[in-house]
Amino acid sequence: MAGANRRARARIGDAPLVRRLLIGATVLVAAVLLAAPLAVIFVQAFSAGRAAFGAAILHPDTLHAIGLTVLAALIAVPVNTAFGVAAAWAVTKFDFPLKRLLVVLIEIPFSVSPVVAGVAYLFVYGLQGLFGAALQDAGVQILFALPGIVLASVFVTAPFVARELIPLMQAQGRDLEEAATTLGAGGWRTFRRVTLPNIRWALLYGVVLCNARVMGEFGAVSVVSGNIRGQTNTLPLHIELLYHDYQTAGAFAAASVLTVLALVTLAAKVWLEGRGAGRRRRPAAPAMPADPATLPPGGLAR
C-alpha cells in the first residue's frame, strides 16, 4: 500500500532515465542555440589576429558607434528609472480614476514592434510629420540625430523599471509610508528612508535590464537614426553595416564588444537575483519604534 502511494505521488521525470534524458536534451539545446553562437563570435573576432581585432575596435567609426551607444544609455536609463519609480509610486500608493489605463499605457512598448515605434516617430517628428515643419522652422533636429535615438531608446525601454517595481510595491502595501507620514516624515524623506531600502534591489534589477535593452536596441533606432556611418550609427547598426560591407572580422570584433556588455549584464542580473531582486515576496518591514515618544524631536522628519 505504501509503495502504491509512493508511485502515485511520483512526479513527472522522477524516473532516472527520464530525468537524464530531460537534462541531456536541455544541455544540448542550450549548447547549440546559446553557447555555440557566443563562441563563434569570439572565434571569428580574432580570426584575423589580435592586430586586426585591435584595429577594428579602434577604428574611428567603431569608437563613435560605441560612444554613441553609451551616450544614449546614459540619457535613456536615468530617464526611464525616474519614470519607472514615479509610475510605480503613483500606481501602488494612490487611488485615482483610470489607474488601470495607466498600467496598460506603461505596457504598450512591449506590445508594439520597435520598427513600428520608429515609423511612428517619423510621422510625429519627421519633415512631413505632425511637428516636422515647426521643428524645422525652429532649427531643431530630432530625427537622424542623437535626440531621435534617445527618444526611440526611451520608448522601447520605458516599462522595464516600472514592471519590476509595481508588483513589489503592491506586495509591500502602504502601511509603512502611512506610518512614516504619521510620525512626521515628508514625502521625499519617506521615500528615501522607508520605500527605497525595500525596493533598491528590484530597482537595480530593472535598471540593468533597461540598460541591456538600450545597448542592444536595433529596430526603432535603425528607423530614426538614418544609418549615417560615423554619425548616427549605434553599435548594433554599425555591426550590420560592417557585415553588409563584407568586413566580417570587423563586424565580429564589434559584436564581441556588445557580447561582453551582455555577459556583464547577465552577471549583474544573476547577482541581483541572488540578493532577492526579481522576486515577488513581501519584504520584511524595517524596525520602527512603537512609541512616538522614543523618537527624536521632529520624528522621522530628522
For 45-104, the pLDDT digits (tens) are 998 888 999 999 999 999 999 999 999 999 999 999 999 999 998 898 888 888 889 899
> Which three cell numbers mark 297?
524631536
Give pLDDT, residue 11: 63
Distance CA 226, CA 32 (A): 35
Average pLDDT of the chain?
83
User: Do residues 26 and 90 share a domain?
Assistant: no
CA distance 42 to 45: 5
Does 9 have pLDDT greater than 70?
no
If asked whether residues 32 and 146 sit together in one domain, one would say no
258 shares its domain with 142: yes
For residue 214, name the pLDDT band (cuts at 50, 70, 90): very high
Q: Name which of 12-16, 120-124, 235-239 the model is least confident about.
A: 12-16
Give the pLDDT mean for 5-13: 57
- Per-residue burial over 189-211, b if 16 or more Cβ lie within 10 Å, else e, is bbbeebbeebbebbbbbbbbbbb
Query: Is residue 88 one of the residues assigned to a domain?
Result: yes
Tell me: do 258 and 289 sit in the same domain: yes
Query: How many structural domains are present in the chain?
Result: 2
Flag whether 131 is in a domain.
Answer: yes
In a domain, 215, yes or no: yes
Considering the chain, what percentage of its residues have pLDDT values greater than 70?
Answer: 86
What is the distance between the alpha carbons of residues 174 and 38, in angstroms, rounded to a whole number?
Answer: 45
Residue 193 near residue 300 (C-beta atoms within 8 A): yes
Please tell me the distance from the alpha carbon of residue 178 to that of residue 273, in angstroms, as a whole number: 29
- 174 in Cβ contact with 93 (< 8 Å): yes
Q: Provide the domain limits for residue 21.
A: 15-45
> Would residue 4 count as lying in a domain?
no
pLDDT on residue 48? 85
Domain of residue 135, CATH code: 1.10.3720.10
Q: Is pLDDT above 70 for 6?
A: no
Q: What is the pTM of this model?
A: 0.80
Would you state the pLDDT for residue 189?
80
Q: How is residue 294 annotated by DSSP?
A: G
Residue 185 · residue 299 · CB < 8 Å: yes
Is residue 9 in a domain?
Answer: no
Shared-domain flag, residues 24 and 115: no
| C-alpha cell belonging to residue 77 | 536609463
